[in-house]
Amino acid sequence: MNGLSVCVLFDVMFVYALKDPRSQNIRYVGITKDVEKRLKQHLYYAKCGQRSHKASWIREVLAAGSIPQIEILDTVDHDEAAFWEIEWIRLLGALGSHLTNQTRGGDGLVDLSPEAKARQDSKRWGRKHSAEACEKIRKARTGSTQSEQARLKISQANRGRKDSMETRAKKSLAKKGAKFSVEHRKKLSVSRLNRLSARNTSGFVGVSINPRSHKWQAVITVPGGRRLNCGEYHSVEDAVLVQRLSMFKHYG
């Protein structure tokens, strides 16, 4: 099994993933003490006709002449194994993985009491994934797309949340020296055109009334960050039209 050999420890559990060898997508997440033995059990139950999404997928892989791959995602304490199984299933599900798990994990526990949730939350805070686990999370996210429902949940969860000073410093450091492609700058400019400030009077970003001439003035941001004046016009419609034409000329 790809030379994978794992010692069985009494106080350690492994959060593992079953991957489709054809696409390298993660299709199942579980916990075990013995990774090799657990894979054999999955194969045995599927061959015996077990009725589940996971077993049906395994039979499909076997029929194609392949065998599901097993990979360790995390190594955790025995008492925290169920909690981290739930967390990995939640994380991969939010990242768009089409898992065959029929429950959210944790030995099938769907509804936990507030006391149990509080105990699990207390175990979660302050714990950091190992460098290996972080790398596996990064690989799992690469190329994945989130559903509209997942994006909406994340947006609602982040609404009103403010980053700490430490987080802001890290983001600022990460952006230093970064150069955006022309295509990315185009997307940023288009998004700015659709984002109005509280002081906007025209209803269009980059179009405002000149208090001296009382005409509508249009501006755009061209590649390189320079602001370009598109002229002044008697009507807001004309200003917006010229602005859009200028955007098309510079960004295509």
pLDDT in tens, 60-117: 999 999 999 999 988 888 888 888 888 888 888 888 888 998 887 665 444 556 676 6
Please give the angle made by the CA atoms of 142, 143 and 144, to the nearest 5 degrees: 95
Does residue 164 belong to any structural domain of this protein? no
Q: Is there a single domain that holds both residue 149 and residue 218?
A: no
Does residue 147 belong to any structural domain of this protein? yes
**Count of the separate structural domains present in the chain:** 2
Which region holds residue 203: left if phi is over 0, alpha if psi is between -120 and 50, else beta? left
Q: Is there a single domain that holds both residue 16 and residue 123?
A: yes
Tell whether the model's pLDDT for residue 144 goes beyond 90. Answer: no
Q: Which residue has the higher pLDDT, 154 or 116?
A: 154
Neighbouring CB atoms inside 10 A of 231's CB total 14
- Please give the distance of CA 115 from its chain centroid, rounded to a whole number: 29
pLDDT at 191: 65
pLDDT at 97: 85
Q: Which of 143, 158, 173 is the last residue of a domain?
A: 158
pLDDT at 8: 46
CA distance 176 to 191: 21
Does residue 172 belong to any structural domain of this protein? no
Q: What is the pLDDT of residues 171-212, one digit of tens each?
A: 777 777 777 777 777 666 666 655 555 566 677 778 888 888
Q: Which amino acid is at 214?
A: H
Q: Is there a single domain that holds both residue 58 and residue 103?
A: yes
pLDDT at 108: 47
Give the Å distances, CA to CA, from 133 to 35, 91, 102, 187: 17, 13, 24, 33
Q: Is there a single domain that holds both residue 85 and residue 139?
A: yes
Please report, to the nearest 10 degrees, the dihedral formed by the alpha carbons of residues 204, 206, 211, 212 taken in order: -130
List of long-range contacts for 3-10, beta carbons under 8 Å, 24+ apart: 4/35, 4/36, 4/70, 5/36, 6/34, 6/35, 6/36, 6/72, 8/33, 8/34, 9/33, 10/78
Q: Is there a single domain that holds both residue 24 and residue 106?
A: yes
Does residue 219 belong to any structural domain of this protein? yes
Q: What is the pLDDT of residues 215-224, one digit of tens each?
A: 888 888 877 7
Tell whether the model's pLDDT for residue 130 goes beyond 90. Answer: no
Q: Is there a single domain that holds both residue 107 and residue 219?
A: no
CATH code at position 187: 3.30.730
The pTM for the full model equals 0.44
The residue segments making up the domain with residue 246 are: 182-251
Does residue 170 belong to any structural domain of this protein? no
Q: Is there a single domain that holds both residue 153 and residue 209?
A: no
Q: What is the pLDDT of residues 8-39, one digit of tens each?
A: 445 788 999 999 999 999 999 999 989 999 99
- Please give the distance of CA 89 from its chain centroid, rounded to a whole number: 13
Q: Is there a single domain that holds both residue 85 and residue 204?
A: no
Strand order in the sheet with 26-32: 26-32, 12-19, 69-77
pLDDT at 92: 86
Q: Is there a single domain that holds both residue 132 and residue 198?
A: no
pLDDT at 193: 57
Residues contacting 66, CB < 8 A, separation 6+: 21, 22
Does residue 3 belong to any structural domain of this protein? no
Q: Is there a single domain that holds both residue 118 and residue 203?
A: no
**What is the dihedral sign for C-alpha 57, 96, 128, 84?**
negative
Does residue 92 belong to any structural domain of this protein? yes
Q: Which of 125, 158, 191 is the last residue of a domain?
A: 158
CATH code at position 59: 3.40.1440.10
- Residue 17: strand pairing partners: 29, 71
Q: Is there a single domain that holds both residue 240 and residue 193?
A: yes
Q: Is there a single domain that holds both residue 139 and residue 214?
A: no
CA distance 169 to 83: 31
Does residue 225 belong to any structural domain of this protein? yes
Residue 122: strand, helix, or coil: helix
Q: Which residue has the higher pLDDT, 170 or 75?
A: 75
Residues contacting 169, CB < 8 A, separation 6+: none
Give the Å distances, CA to CA, from 108 to 31, 33, 85, 104: 12, 18, 10, 7
Tell whether the model's pLDDT for residue 5 goes beyond 50. Answer: no
